[in-house]
Amino acid sequence: MKALMFGWEFPPHILGGLGTASYGLTKGMSLQPDLEITFVIPKPWGDEDQSFLRIIGANQIPVVWKDVNWDHVNSRIGNFMSPDDYYHFRNNIKYDFRRIGTDDLGCINFSGRYPENLLEEISNYEAVASVIAHAIQFDVIHAHDWLTYPAGRFAKQISGKPMVIHVHATDYDRSRGQVNPDVYRIEKEGMDAADHIMTVSNLTRRTVIEKYHQHPDKVTTVHNAVEPMANVEEFTKSERNDKVITFLGRITMQKGPEYFVEVATRVLQHTKGVRFVMAGSGDMMNKMIRLVAQKGIADKFHFTGFLKGRQVYEMLAESDVYMMPSVSEPFGISPLEAMQVGTPSIISKQSGCAEILNHVIKTDYWDIDAMADYIHAIVKYPAMYNSLRENGLAEVNNIKWEYAGQKVRRIYDMVCGR
């Protein structure tokens, strides 16, 4: 079976959990011997792992016909794509996209990020999808998150192939219910057009059914997992006296960073030898810096900025407790990553991963007193710390992307009539 996947980011260049999940799922699915995956992203950087799938950069697909010679094509994109492939795609331009600004090869410049003109990039990505859909063979379309739903819909319209969409989050999660009408429309149209919808948790499944009015039979939960760590022994804690409590993620409304600051304030009132770290970046970062100063805890509170790759695991391993007070978290892979390096986690009940994790502490995101009490207990009572550490490690090692990939494959077979 050949799957055409549309994504928006892919490791090592990621800006959030979407790229991490896309990598883990596709690698887990690649263990199926009869499955070929072509993964499209707006802008590859050339250092992505392509040992188990083929990556196509939307910024290297011509959407406007240009008369260019082989040597010029090779000098421009030869490190990413064979010039012969370029000409094959060029010969499959079926629509007039001259209204879109293109370069000397007739390709569109994508940022590879989430720019101010994001809706324009999503529309341009849809144009690229039309060329790809005419040029390559595939059995099923798989679109990851709302950014790629228009591309998936166009590919389905052209090919007649079934489309499944993967809901990693909805705008209801990101906005605490204050949805952007443009984003909601794109999400709803993608869900309506899909042959089947996969959600990363039952929490998200309920949102899709209730807020986007999808039939329950059309929506299946496929919980996320975590990539195994071959070098986990390299990540250890430094010799120190203070205990470290960490928040790691986007510093934005959905993640509940203000609750983390409130918990830190409460803990520091009655617990000595504790420090708090907020790792990440986001639109609420400056607000959190001001809040920490107002609370008078700046000497015990640290901001690291955005972390990626190995830095994430180093920070989690240095932590004595990882805390995820998300207001609405479709899944949340970071607690699993913390458990991999032996760090106990406190997570909100309003998170998808709470559905599958047993050896973590679960509280309501707003229950500051409970979170503060649990932090005090974990850092002051070694028996509790060790129990969460050891049992959590054993649990997370059995949550594998291979199993999630098998569920996705069964959905492929169903929509393809196999």
CA–CA separation, 172 vs 192, rounded Å? Answer: 17
What is the predicted pLDDT for the residue at 186? 97
Give per-residue pLDDT as tens, 20-54. 999 999 999 999 999 999 999 999 999 999 999 99
Angle between helical axes of 285-295 and 257-270 (0-180°, round to 10): 20
Q: Is 159 helix (H, G, I), strand (E, B) or coil?
A: helix
Q: pLDDT value at position 25? A: 97
Q: Which pLDDT value is given to residue 177?
A: 77
Q: Tens of pLDDT along 66-121?
A: 999 999 999 999 999 999 999 999 999 999 999 999 999 999 999 999 999 999 99
The CA–CA distances, whole Å, from 57 to 93, 94, 355 equal: 16, 19, 35
Query: From CA 21, how far away is CA 396, in angstroms rounded?
Result: 15
Alpha carbon distance 71, 79 (integer Å): 13
Instruction: Report CA-CA distances (Å) from 416 to 64, 138, 141, 179, 216.
Output: 32, 11, 10, 33, 19
Query: Which position has the token pair 């998150």?
Result: 145
What's the pLDDT at 40?
98
Task: Confirm if 179 and 148 have CB atoms less than 8 A apart.
Answer: no
Per the CB < 8 A criterion, the answer to whether 353 and 338 are in contact is no
Q: Report whether 114 contacts 146 (CB < 8 A).
A: no
Domains, the chain = 2-225+401-415 (3.40.50.2000), 232-396 (3.40.50.2000)
In this predicted structure, what is the pLDDT of residue 392?
95
**What is this structure's pTM?**
0.91
Do residues 263 and 372 lie in contact, with contact meaning Cβ atoms separated by under 8 Å? Answer: yes
Percent pLDDT > 70 in the chain is: 100
For 161-223, the DSSP string reads --EEEEES--HHHHHTT---HHHHHHHHHHHHH-SEEEESSHHHHHHHHHHS---GGGEEE--
Question: Are the C-beta atoms of 218 and 196 separated by less than 8 Å?
Answer: yes
* Rounded distance between C-alpha atoms, residue 182 and residue 119, angstroms: 9
Quick check: 125 and 149 in contact, CB under 8 A?
no
Residues of the chain with pLDDT under 70: none
Helices (H), 212-323: 257-270, 285-295, 310-318
